[in-house]
Structure formats: C-alpha cells, structure tokens
Amino acid sequence: MNEKAPFLRLAKRENINKRNVWLIRAAAFFTALVLGGLIFVIAGADPINAYGSLLEGSLGNPAGLRQVIKVATPLLGTALALAPCFKMKYWNIGAEGQITMGAVGASYLALSFGDTWNSFLLLPAMAIMGVIFGGLWSGIPAAFKARYGTNETLFTLMMNYIAIGIVGWLQGGPWEGKPGSQIIPMFKPAAVLPRIMGVHIGWILVLILTAIMFIYMNYTKHGYEIAVLGESENTARYAGMNVTKVTIRTALLSGGISGLVGFMVASGANMTLYASVAGGVGFTAITVAWLSQLNPLGMIFISLLLAVLSKGASTLQTSLAVPASISDIITGIILLCMLGCEFFINYKIILRESKNKEGQK
Amino acid sequence: MSISVIGLIKAAVLNGTPLLFGTSGEILTEKSGNLNLGVEGLMFMGGAFGLLGAFSYGQIAGENAVGSVAIAIAFLMAFLAGVAGSLIFSFLTITLRANQNVTGLALTIFGTGVGQFVGELMRLKVGGNVTISNALKDAFANGVLPMALQKIPLVGPILFSYNVFVYIGLVMVLAMTYFFRRTRTGLALKAVGESPATADAAGISVTKYRYLATVIGGGISAVGGMVYTMTIAGSVWNHSGLAGEGWVAVALVIFCLWKPINSLWGSVLFGGLLILYLRLPLSFIPTQIYKVVPYIVTALVLIIVSMRQRKEDQPPAALGVNYFREER
C-alpha cells in the first residue's frame, strides 16, 4: 500500500472558530435557496418573486404570523422531546406515534368530562393523560431495547403506524360522533386550550419547556448521565450508572413530552382528534432536533424556519399557481444541504500539494 | 367460494408487487449496512417519474405507441429517479458522514415533495387528470403470459395471469437470492454490512460496496412506486395513493429477516393484509385494525428475533452505522 498520498485527504478539524462554522452553515443555506430557486423556475415562477411572496405570505401579515407560530409550536415541542434520546444515541423515531397516543389520552378525558368538569381541572388532567400515554407508547420499545436489545429505530417506527391505526379505529368506532361520519365530535369549550395573541397557549408552554430542557440537558445529573451513555455505554457502566434505568427513564421522558405536544395539538389547534393529528411533525422534528445539534435554543430557530416555509408555500399555491408540495422539496433541500455541511465543519480537505499539516497517524 | 379465494390470492399478489420491489431494494441497501429510511420518498419519486415517462411517450408517439416501449421507459425513469434519490443519500451518509436516520427522513420529505410536485405539475400542464391511453394502460396492467397458460383452471389464474412486473419481480428476487448465497460479491457485500472494519481489512472497498448497493437498491425500490401507480392506481396520479407504501416496505424488510427470498411470500401476505378489509370484511373486526396488522406482526417479529438471538435472523450488525476508517 505504499502508493503516493491520495489527491484529496481528510483531517479532523481540531478547533474551528464560531465565525467559520456559521459561514459554512450560511453558505449551505444559501446553496439550498439557490437549488430551491431552480425548482421555482421549473414550476414556471420567478424565483426572487416567489421567495418574496413566500415571506410576504408567512411573515407579512398577522394571520400568517399566527399560522407560523401554530405550525412551529408542535415542531419545537417534539424536537425538545427527542433531544435527550438522540443525545443518548437512542434512535427514537416514534415521536409521530407518541404524539398521536398523547392526543388519544387527552381526548379521552375531553370527550368524557367536557361537559362536567371545568377547564381548570380538565386541561391539566388532559395534559397529564397526554404525558402518560405518550410516555407509555415510548416506554414499550425502550423496555425491549433495554432487556433484549431490540432495535429501537425499527420498533418505534412500527409503533407510529399502530398508533395512527388505533385513532382510525376510534374515529370510525367507539368515539365516532354522528354514526357513519368517521369523525370524532369537537371538544367542548372546557377542553380547549385558551389563546394568547390569537394562538393557543401551547406556544408559551413550549418556550418554557425549551428553557427547562436546556437546563436539564446541560446542568443536571440526568443530563450528564445521558451524555455519558451516548458517548460510550461501557464508560457509563464502569462509572456505575444503571444503563437500563437511564435508557427507559429517558425514553419515558421523551415520549411524555411528545404526548404533551399531542395534547396541545388536539386541544389547542384541532379541538378534536383525528388519525393524522401528528401530521408528520414527529418525523420533521427529528430533522429539527438534529440540525440544531440537539441545542434547545437552536431548535426555536429551525422550527420557525420550517414553519415559515410551509406556511409561505401554501400561499404560493393560490398566488402563483405553484404546487404547495414545493415546500416539502425546499424543506428537503435545506435539510439535506445542512446535513451535508456539517462535514465541512468537522473535517477539512487537504490537497496533496499542501504539506503544512501532518496527516493522521 | 373458490372464485373469491382465487380473487383474493390474485389481489394479494398484485398489491404485493410494489412492496416486493420496495422491499427487495431496501434489503439490498440494508445488507450493506445503510439504513435508508427514504424508501417512502423514493417510491413517490418512482411513481411520479414512471408515470411522467409513460405519459410523455404516449403524447409523443400518439397512435403508434407500443406497450412494451412504454413499460421500458416507465421502468427506466422510475429506476433513475430512485438512483438519483439514493445517490443523494449515499453521498451524504457515506462521503459526508451524515447521520443515516436523519438523512433518510430528509430524503423522504424531499422525495414525497418531488413526487407530489411532478404529479401536480403534470396535472396543471395538462389541465386535468394525467393519464395514458387505454391501450397503454392495458399493456401495464394485463397478463403477459400466453392465453393458453392463463386459461388453465385454478393454476392459470393463480400463477400465470399477472402483469409483467410480477414476473420481473420474481426473477429479480431469485437473482438477488442467488447473488447473496452463491457469489463472491454478494458475500463481500454481506461482510460490509456485518463488519465494515473486517471487510476493509480484507481489501473490500466499503465505500464502493455501500454506494453501489444503496444506489441500485434505491432504484429497485423506486420501481415499486411506479408499479403501484401504473397498475394498482390505474396509471393516474393520485395525491395520496402511494402514501405509506414505502413504510410498509421498510416494515416488510424486517418481517423478511433481511432475506430476499422471504419477500416473495412476505409481500403477498402484506399485500393481502392491506386489502383484506375490502375482500373479507368481518363485522367484528374494524377495518382500521386490519390495516395495522402488518405493523403489529412486524413489531412482534422484531421482538421475537431479538429475544431468540439466532445469528442468522439478526439485522446486519452495522445497520445504520457509518464507517469511519480512522475510528476503527
């Protein structure tokens, strides 16, 4: 193997300053916007004009802004839920199902006691039920992972569709409103989250949760255990941590928060329950959590960005006759570009000629 | 009674064929250690581009359109769409070392977006439903084997009455089984998925194998989307028709224990379960419960496999883990 040194080789960057990190990310984002612009051209729209009306439609008026916050709230909440799992390198991709089950738990109380309880009792009870249901739904795969090493990525994925199927069954069966309608009745006012500035108060709860999660991840013993376990299971074991306990506890916490999000969406945004209550949020939130490097503060920004895109693109359909699915394409492009750019933050590429740095040994 | 059983079997096979492609493509991918969760997106892209290919050919050729050419074009377009999509995945995860789960999900978002976009754009351009001529539709959906075979009682309808994709899928899966069991390259690919470091030390290029397996696997999965659109959906772009198909395919990979040969009966079983509520409605089982049976069964398989710990049933040991040579 004594060939010449390869034309390109890689070396890990030891310390890169903050400014360059953000320059690389900005370049990736810009690239994504240019590629997205090409899609607009294919659709027969002027890209600059299109981006303009995208921003106009989402941020340019109060109604659009409210929609953006409404879309961003569950994304942020779920990304927060996933952060500890991912930090632990436990690949919970079952948030979709955990949101759905949380919504089921909350809806059960809403439908049963909407007439008799007042909202000061009912709403907190619904929130707790959401947490319990979401937590249990996440706890099942975690228990099997801890006991038998069952692959959690695949198991949590299956749990999503089982949860969605359960709601589908409730919709057409036990909880159906008008017979044959396949629709669960709207919640009574006591079961509906109040609004602040035109959006249900979920957004405030989620912001508080962001702060709590930031502290939990960075300044608590639990957070430390999660970080160690994520780095190396053996290290955690030698340090005397109970790996089974930490795994299950973190998964319960994560599912619980997702369940809380399910409660917020059902009670605050939809005011009823239907099978697509999670609507892909559980999957998109995975990318939100990852792109923000599991940093709760970064998640606020990323979830707002994606919300602006999806709200803005839905107005494009009416104003420019561009299919609304373009928001998925552009979201996808942004995600893929941002994922790719991390490489250039972590590694540098060295051309053969330059011999100023020693290679890896 | 016997007719309805035959009808059910036929419907199960037809509904299973898109899954057969989706699953066997993903098995090829996962055997290399790449967990591509973008199958849903790839199948959407395959469905949209396959239809676009057949539709454009139909527009250009007009009266003279030949069925087999349309099939070849749709097949190729879908395959290339899948290749393009999984090339993005491969570049990001293999070369740029991005996380596989997240990249796969991003690919799903991107791919379903592209599929919907192409479908909607065609509809906007044509100003109505995008579809192909009845002659071409028949070429896609009708039986390809000689009538004499199809007319054999019992055996004819069950074995010989299907469209061309059923038989292409059958041959492909048999070839893939042979590839994994009997060829050196297949063995090397399995080694890459089980222990990339060992494979690397043995002089096998992990990068090359992962790229090729993922890209070809992605192409095959995307063909499954095309088969769905052109046969089951009746060659019409339908907004939500394909939704979920890719995820069922991912589930089926687990159910098949990563063995292509199992996907032959697994896809028929899952294909049957997906439509059983239409064919065999039992009043005491709600239709929605039928629909989750594939996922419940898959979850149970996953649990049982992990409890029994039999070596040959396990997922590829390096599944979902990127290989960094310097971190060996």
Cβ within 8 Å, pair A287-B109: yes
Domain count, chain B: 1
Q: Which residues of A touch B254 (CB under 8 A)?
A: 154
- B169 vs B324: which has the higher pLDDT: B169
The per-residue pLDDT of chain A, averaged, comes to 88
- Give every CB contact of residue A223 below 8 A, 6+ residues apart in sequence: A84, A216, A217
Q: Which residues of A touch B35 (CB under 8 A)?
A: 153
Which residue carries 């228990």 as its tokens?
A: A143
Tell me the whole-structure pTM to 2 decimals. Answer: 0.89
List B residues 262-291 in contact with A (Cβ-Cβ < 8 A): 286-289, 291
User: Average pLDDT for residues A90-94, to the nearest whole number?
Assistant: 92
Residue B264 CA to residue B309 CA, distance in Å, equals 24
Condensed to tens digits (0 to 9), the pLDDT of residues A129-138 reads 999 999 999 9
A328: contact with B, CB 8 A cutoff? yes
pLDDT for B100 equals 92
User: Average pLDDT for residues B135-145, to the nearest whole number?
Assistant: 85
Cβ within 8 Å, pair B117-A325: yes
Cβ within 8 Å, pair B286-A327: no
Cβ within 8 Å, pair B92-A340: yes
Neighbours of A3 (CB within 10 A): 5
Residue-level length of chain B: 328
Q: List the single best residue of B295, B298, B325, B328 to mutate versus A (max A Cβ within 10 A).
A: B295
Q: Band of the pLDDT at B241, cuts 50, 70, 90?
A: confident
CATH of the domain at B131: 1.10.3470
Beta-bridge mates of residue B55: none
pLDDT for A359 equals 45
The conformation of residue A9, written as its DSSP 8-state character, comes to: E
Cβ within 8 Å, pair A144-B250: no
Contact A257, A80 (CB under 8 A): yes
Q: Where are the beta strands (DSSP E) in chain A?
A: 8-12, 195-196, 199-200, 347-351
- A318 vs A185: which has the higher pLDDT: A185
Condensed to tens digits (0 to 9), the pLDDT of residues B172-192 reads 999 999 999 999 999 999 999
pLDDT for A5 equals 64
Burial of A324 (0-12, 13-18, 19+ CB in 10 A): middle
Tell me the residue type at B200: D
Q: Band of the pLDDT at A360, cuts 50, 70, 90?
A: very low
Q: At residue A13, does pLDDT exceed 90?
A: no
Would you state the torsion angle of the CA atoms of residues B72, B77, B78, B84, taken in this order, to the nearest 10 degrees? Answer: 140
Condensed to tens digits (0 to 9), the pLDDT of residues B35-70 reads 999 999 999 999 999 999 999 998 888 778 888 899
User: Average pLDDT for residues A104-116, to the nearest whole number?
Assistant: 92
Q: Which residues of A touch B273 (CB under 8 A)?
A: none
A342: contact with B, CB 8 A cutoff? yes
Q: Band of the pLDDT at A8, cuts 50, 70, 90?
A: confident
Residue B178 CA to residue B27 CA, distance in Å, equals 14
pLDDT for B328 equals 54
- B275 vs B171: which has the higher pLDDT: B171
pLDDT for B282 equals 67
B250: contact with A, CB 8 A cutoff? yes
Which residue carries 């040969």 as its tokens?
A: B261
Q: Which residues of B touch A299 (CB under 8 A)?
A: none
The per-residue pLDDT of chain B, averaged, comes to 88
Q: Band of the pLDDT at B157, cuts 50, 70, 90?
A: confident
Contact B229, B75 (CB under 8 A): no
- Give every CB contact of residue A155 below 8 A, 6+ residues apart in sequence: A94, A141, A144, A145, B299, B302, B303
Whole domain around residue B8: which residue ranges? 2-327
pLDDT for B251 equals 87
Tell me the residue type at B251: A
A100: contact with B, CB 8 A cutoff? no
Condensed to tens digits (0 to 9), the pLDDT of residues A39-80 reads 889 888 888 888 888 888 888 888 889 989 999 999 999 999
Q: What are the structure tokens assigned to A96, written together?
A: 């979709």
ipTM entry: 0.88
Neighbours of B188 (CB within 10 A): 17
Residue A107 CA to residue A111 CA, distance in Å, equals 6
How far from the centroid of its chain's Cα atoms is residue A190's Cα? 28
Q: What are the residue ranges of helices labelled H in A88-118?
A: 95-113
Q: Smallest CA–CA separation between B248 and chain A, in Å?
A: 9
User: Average pLDDT for residues B15-34, to the nearest whole number?
Assistant: 95
